[in-house]
Structure 1
Amino acid sequence: MSILLFVLGVLFVALGIAASIALHEVGHLVPAKLFKVRVTQYMIGFGPTLFSRRRGDTEYGLKAIPLGGYVSMVGMFPPARADDGDPTGTAVRPSSTGMFQQLTTDARQAAAEQLRPGDENRVFYKLPIWKRIIIMLGGPVMNLIIGVIMFAILIMGFGSPQATTTVSEVYECVVPASQQASTGQTACTDEDPAAPAFDAGLQPGDRVVSYDGQDVTDWTQLSAWIRDTAGDETAISYVRDGETINTTITPLLTERPVPDIDGRPKLNADGTEVLEAVGFIGVGSQQELAPGPPSEVLPAVGDNIVAVTGVVINLPQRVVEVGQAAFSDAPRDPEGPISVVGVGRIAGEVSAMDEVPIESRVATLVGLVGGVNIALFVFNLIPLLPLDGGHIAGALWEGVRRTVARLFNRPDPGPFDMAKLLPLTYVVVVLLMGMGALLIYADIVKPVNLFG
């Protein structure tokens, strides 16, 4: 049964990613057709074509390697300018970079072969700059929309984990956080003091209803009261099997991590946890999914975008760290980049967790698909070809050049020739393929461990 659930989890996320890629390309296809650009192909995947069908000007199909997709439009590259010494766009100009010049020329020839009579005003490069930007932004924006929908389903439908006033676990002893960090100690010894909750008789499943004479309705509030009453014998009431039990408890003064606004430990500049001496009784809270309001969706998406952007900005360093972990005993950073193989593995592990409620497992899978779409949104905006951000940057640069020319009464410089960037594009493609291969290898030999 666990194997079947693992496979179902992988399939769920795989289909979600495939649908996201297909819709990303729809985001390019629809505005291109609205702006009358002739679209020759809409393909999901790369390599040999498994299936295709032509409708109108466009061939729609599925290819063998499902690692992306593309929309092919005529006139992506303008013809070479006559003042470049190549009025036809087909000559090879002798230079010290002849090989790269040949790459550019071959790309122009391939683009020219797609043209047919009547395409003069249906080529991409002749569109106004704002239309080209809309076409290239369509794909990433589609991923953003999917991400927002997935997060809305997650937050408003399933809900986010919230601490309840029900006890999930009771510690037998208290080990200071600094001692845990320095020695790695987790088990109790004879020298460790007993946890106040254990002494007071609390057990997993008990629901705390009163503390120091005040009704308990919120775990965060209860935690604050406990932290402030270190050393004070305090009345506490909890319900077990429908019966209310009244007793007293004396929180122990000990070092605990300082939580941030999200309840996660605050960190010092060196990455260590910020500690403070507070009252502690040694219990954990049971979590349950609680639906949130629509107002929480966009902030959650924004936080995810910021987190992914941070990974992308430091991507070279993060990839190096992944490589070091893959070929050494160093652990993988759970916040680092992973491949689709890693995402699939996490999905399978979540699905196979029999001890986790099915609702929580499905919610996690929905969150994974949403997170992948946010990552696709951010990654595709990197201003490098062949990514969408590279085409957007080229269009913006063309706008700047033409604006400057108008301001200084200079001749119109014409379309920015993206074909001249093809040598750099090939370098980027090779680097992306190498990064993808490394991440897949690391996710196989040393996968990210999120569940202990």
Structure 2
Amino acid sequence: MTTFMTILGIVVFAVGLLVSIAWHELGHLSTAKMFGIRVPQYMVGFGPTIFSRRKGDTEYGIKAIPLGGYIRMIGMFPPGKDGKMQARSTSPFRGMIEDARAAAYEELKPGDETRLFYTRAPWKRVIVMLAGPFMNLILAVVVFMGVMMTFGITTQTTTVGAVSDCVLQQSVVSKDPDRKCTGKDPAAPAKAAGLQKGDRIVAFNGNKVGDWDDLQSDIRGTIGKATVTVERDGKLVDLHPTLIKNQVAKTDGRGSYVDGEYVDAGFLGFTPARGVVQQDFGQSVERMGDMVANGVDALIALPSKIPDLWDAAFNGGERKDDSPVGVVGAARVGGEVLNLDIPPEQRVASMLLLVAGFNLSLFLFNMLPLLPLDGGHIAGALWESIRRQAAKIFRRPDPGPFDVAKLMPVAYVVAGIFICFTLLVLVADLVNPVKLTG
């Protein structure tokens, strides 16, 4: 049964991946057609074509390798000095191949002179190139918000999971997790006040408690006597602990702890229980914002992850929980999700969140202003608009369309780096994968 569920999880993720790719390319396709650009092909996958059908002037199909997709647009670049125009692709790998083909311009047909990508106004080209990543962002937001507001998410709650016996500094505990209380350590305020495992804290100093983040903020901002109202066995009980100043882990303002950094704050002395909690619309929006911010931070931190990835792939080093994963690694995590000992609805929610996370990463990555990514073409169109507007202001001749093709040497370097990084992640995913369970 375990093997079956693992395979099923991988298949489900693969289907989600294909849907995400098709959705991305649909954004490019629909806006390109809206602006009258000819699109000869819309393909999901790479390699040999498994199925295709032509409708109008576009061939729609599925290819054998489900690791990407592309649409082909006529006139992606302005003509060179020889007057030839080449058909280009929104896919980085396909784009490099086509760039090497001298015969690509032969796809042009009579009448295409008015249906070329580069002849459209810069703002239209920005919309066409932005539409793909934006579709991924829409899908990520809809799925994330839907899961949080219906299934709920596993998070820290205001229910007491465990009560500390004594007061210990967080830096001491992090260095020595097995450190036990001694007679010299003062009793934790929570224990001295009679807080018990299973109590649900409903108010702090007379103010209703919303969620764990609010309660944690109230506790850390209080030193001295306080009133904690708990629900115990269906009854409300007021406890009167005296909070003390203690060294606790620093938070990043988004609900996560900062490794190795500590602050002095009010201390009560208990561990919150974790549970599945439905989020309201406001909470969901806030958490969605946190996820985007965390995604940006993770993208910026990618270069710093390379040494650990190399060590994990070739030297048997530890594969950290925040290590980048590729499609293979994500599919493997999908297989693990369906084997978790959690309710079926939470397995479904976890799979949806995995696909949503992939879509958010796809959006952020494609928005980098580098060729051959969508963001590189967006940057080129914006630069063209700036040049033309500046020419109008200073009454200079129109400089014409910006030739993004001149940046292809940079695109090859970026693509080469991306390929090397992808291969490194692939090796690490195969030999030392990130695991949900030990």
Shorter chain as denominator, the TM-score bin is 0.7 to 0.9
Contact kept in structure 2, 1:107 and 1:419, CA below 8 Å = no
Amino acid at match of 1:347: G
Residue number in structure 1 paired with 2:90: none
Q: d(CA) in 1 for partners of 2:378 and 2:207?
A: 57
Following TM superposition, by how much is the alpha carbon of 1:27 offset from its aligned partner in structure 2, in angstroms?
Answer: 0.2
Residue number in structure 1 paired with 2:14: 14
Q: d(CA) in 1 for partners of 2:420 and 2:228?
A: 62
Contact kept in structure 1, 2:52 and 2:60, CA below 8 Å = yes
Residues 1:442 and 2:435 are matched in the alignment: no
Residue number in structure 2 paired with 1:397: 383
Q: d(CA) in 2 for partners of 1:247 and 1:89?
A: 78
Q: d(CA) in 1 for partners of 2:161 and 2:400?
A: 68
Change (3 A) 1:187 1:108: same
Amino acid at match of 1:315: L
Amino acid at match of 1:398: E
SS of equivalent residue, structure 1 residue 141: helix
Residues 1:290 and 2:282 are matched in the alignment: no
Deviations 1:123-172 (Å, cap 9, x if unpaired)? 21222222211111110111111111112202222234454443334556
Q: d(CA) in 2 for partners of 1:173 and 1:46?
A: 60
Q: d(CA) in 1 for partners of 2:50 and 2:431?
A: 31
Residue number in structure 1 paired with 2:248: 256
Change (3 A) 1:256 1:424: closer
Residue number in structure 2 paired with 1:55: 55
Change (3 A) 1:245 1:2: farther
Deviations 1:402-440 (Å, cap 9, x if unpaired)? 333334444333322233333332232222111111111
Residue number in structure 1 paired with 2:93: none
Contact kept in structure 2, 1:75 and 1:111, CA below 8 Å = no
Residue number in structure 1 paired with 2:144: 151
Question: Number of aligned pairs?
Answer: 427
Residues 1:426 and 2:426 are matched in the alignment: no
Residue number in structure 2 paired with 1:324: 311
- Equivalent residues in 2 for 1:178-217 (5 A)? 178-182=171-175, 184-186=176-178, 188=180, 204-207=197-200
State the TM-score, normalizing by the size of structure 1.
0.79
Gaps of 5+ in 1: 91-102
- Equivalent residues in 2 for 1:2-41 (5 A)? 2-41=2-41
Amino acid at match of 1:31: T
Gaps of 5+ in 2: 87-95
Residue number in structure 1 paired with 2:298: 311
Q: d(CA) in 1 for partners of 2:304 and 2:141?
A: 29
Following TM superposition, by how much is the alpha carbon of 1:364 offset from its aligned partner in structure 2, in angstroms?
Answer: 2.5
State the TM-score, normalizing by the size of structure 2.
0.82
Residues 1:349 and 2:321 are matched in the alignment: no
- Equivalent residues in 2 for 1:17-416 (5 A)? 17-81=17-81, 86=82, 107=100, 109-161=102-154, 163-170=156-163, 175-182=168-175, 184-186=176-178, 188=180, 204-207=197-200, 220=212, 239-240=232-233, 255-259=247-251, 261-265=253-257, 267=258, 271-276=259-264, 278-293=266-281, 295-328=282-315, 330-354=317-341, 356-416=342-402
SS of equivalent residue, structure 2 residue 261: coil
Change (3 A) 1:392 1:108: farther
Change (3 A) 1:229 1:50: closer
SS of equivalent residue, structure 1 residue 63: strand
Change (3 A) 1:388 1:226: closer
Residue number in structure 1 paired with 2:92: none
Change (3 A) 1:352 1:54: same
Residue number in structure 2 paired with 1:94: none
Q: d(CA) in 1 for partners of 2:305 and 2:392?
A: 44
Greater radius of gyration (CA): 1
Deviations 1:288-317 (Å, cap 9, x if unpaired)? 312312x34444333323222223334333
Deviations 1:237-268 (Å, cap 9, x if unpaired)? 7635x689999978787543355654433x4x
SS of equivalent residue, structure 2 residue 113: coil
Amino acid at match of 1:428: V
Q: d(CA) in 2 for partners of 1:80 and 1:137?
A: 25
Contact kept in structure 1, 2:199 and 2:230, CA below 8 Å = no
Change (3 A) 1:219 1:289: closer
Following TM superposition, by how much is the alpha carbon of 1:175 offset from its aligned partner in structure 2, in angstroms?
Answer: 4.6
C-alpha RMSD of the superposition: 3.7
